[in-house]
Amino acid sequence: MLNTMRSIRSLWLLLLGLLAWQGCEAQEAARTLYVVEQEDIDPALNSQYEQGVQLAIAAMQKANLGSDMSWGATQYQSSYFYVFQVGSLAELDLNSRQARARSAQLATAMDEATFAQFATLTTPAIRGNHLSVMEPVPEFSYAPADTVVENPQFNHVVTLRVQAARAEQFEQATAEILAAIRKSDYPIGFNAYRTVIGDGRVFFDRGRTYYFIAPFDTRSQFYEEHPFNEALAEAVGAERAAQLLGDQLNSLLSMETHDYRRRPDMGFQATK
């Protein structure tokens, strides 16, 4: 029974990116939000787990499901990250119109035999999973006029957890860093996001965990050919660059950087 419940939860989160959020911002205006489902896998069962997910993807492709079922996928070590787009937190209510529509689509793609095979392959492999929701922060994002990134294989992900008392310092330093880099010819873009639900979110204020995500082709391209800190130093001078990065760093509780492998074979992109 426990394994069956885990399978159902995993399938629901993995394929729909939805979790019951009863009564939360039900009247919220539509906006772009990103639901991130993290699956932590037993390293010995990675191959089996991927087989199960790809079985579900094949069933969805065969059923020609719509674009509202699409998701992207990345991997870091034995953790897989699935990203879905929703218009508001109200869609996280399992009784919402959008959730019911997705559930109906899924039922057309996954018959009982396919679901049973999916559960058999994925359930024993999953050590844990959790969900978060992020919103884009366009003022902290950057798009170069000319990019060198042609076929991204990785996402460089910087996670910054900001001290409550130094949120203003963080925002000011980050804004100045962005203003400087936008005047440079740094050729690798990145997008910024902030926690809405999950790590760093508090009830009385907006999220204080930020994610900066930069797609790149190869590690030599990102770290050797076009290092960000060198571009910033060229834009404002080494001394000022060090000061801005120091101000940002001093406003943080913690900082993490990881390179996630992009996994289009573990994502679903609708053709209609």
Q: How far is CA 218 from CA 115, 121, 134, 192, 231, in A?
A: 37, 32, 26, 21, 18
pLDDT given at position 19: 35
- CA-based nearest residue to 266, from 39, 89, 100, 106: 39
pLDDT at 213 over 80: yes
Task: Identify whether residues 14 and 80 lie together within a single domain.
Answer: yes
The CB density around residue 71, as the number of other CB atoms within 10 Å, is: 22
- Residues contacting residue 233 through CB under 8 Å, at least 6 positions apart: 241, 242
DSSP 189-257: -BEEEEEEESTT-BTTB---EEEEEEEES-HIIIIIIS-HHHHHHHHH-HHHHHHHHHHHHHTEEEEEE
Task: Identify whether residues 215 and 255 lie together within a single domain.
Answer: yes
Q: What is the mean pLDDT of residues 2-23?
A: 42
User: 267 lies in a domain?
Assistant: no
Q: How confident is the model at residue 43 (pLDDT cuts 50, 70, 90)?
A: very high
Tokens 């069933």 appear where?
59
Task: Identify whether residues 6 and 124 lie together within a single domain.
Answer: yes
Task: Identify whether residues 57 and 114 lie together within a single domain.
Answer: yes
- CA-based nearest residue to 135, from 31, 249, 252: 31
Task: Identify whether residues 80 and 172 lie together within a single domain.
Answer: no
- CA-based nearest residue to 88, from 200, 204, 196: 196
Domain count of the chain? Answer: 2
pLDDT at 7 over 60: no
Token pair for 93: 């209510």
- Which of 135, 163, 178 is the last residue before a domain boundary? 135
Mean confidence (pLDDT) of the chain: 86
- Which of 74, 107, 135 is the last residue before a domain boundary? 135
What phi, psi does 239 have (nearest 5°)? Answer: -65, -45
pLDDT at 220 over 90: yes
pLDDT given at position 22: 30
Q: Is residue 119 within a helix (H) or strand (E), and if so which, with residue range?
A: helix 112-122
Least confident of 162-166, 217-221, 241-245, 255-259: 162-166
Q: Find how far residue 201's CA is from the centre of its chain.
A: 16
pLDDT at 21 over 50: no
pLDDT given at position 27: 36
User: 272 lies in a domain?
Assistant: no
pLDDT given at position 9: 46
Q: How confident is the model at residue 186 (pLDDT cuts 50, 70, 90)?
A: very high
Task: Identify whether residues 103 and 142 lie together within a single domain.
Answer: no
Q: What is the pLDDT of residues 113-141, one digit of tens each?
A: 998 999 999 999 999 998 899 999 999 99
Cα–Cα distance for residue pair 80/169, rounded to 1 Å: 33
pLDDT given at position 211: 96
Task: Identify whether residues 94 and 35 lie together within a single domain.
Answer: yes
User: 96 lies in a domain?
Assistant: yes
For residue 172, give its domain range. 137-261
* CATH code for position 93: 3.30.70.100
User: 7 lies in a domain?
Assistant: yes
Task: Identify whether residues 112 and 206 lie together within a single domain.
Answer: no
Task: Identify whether residues 129 and 147 lie together within a single domain.
Answer: no
Q: What is the mean pLDDT of residues 155-176?
A: 95
Task: Identify whether residues 154 and 193 lie together within a single domain.
Answer: yes
- Which of 116, 135, 154 is the last residue before a domain boundary? 135
pLDDT given at position 206: 59
pLDDT at 11 over 60: no
DSSP 52-83: HHHHHHHHHHHTT--GGG-BEEEEETTEEEEE
Q: What is the pLDDT of residues 141-158, one digit of tens each?
A: 999 999 999 999 999 999
Q: What is the pLDDT of residues 57-73, one digit of tens each?
A: 999 999 888 777 889 99
Q: How far is CA 252 from CA 68, 72, 159, 201, 231, in A?
A: 36, 29, 10, 15, 23
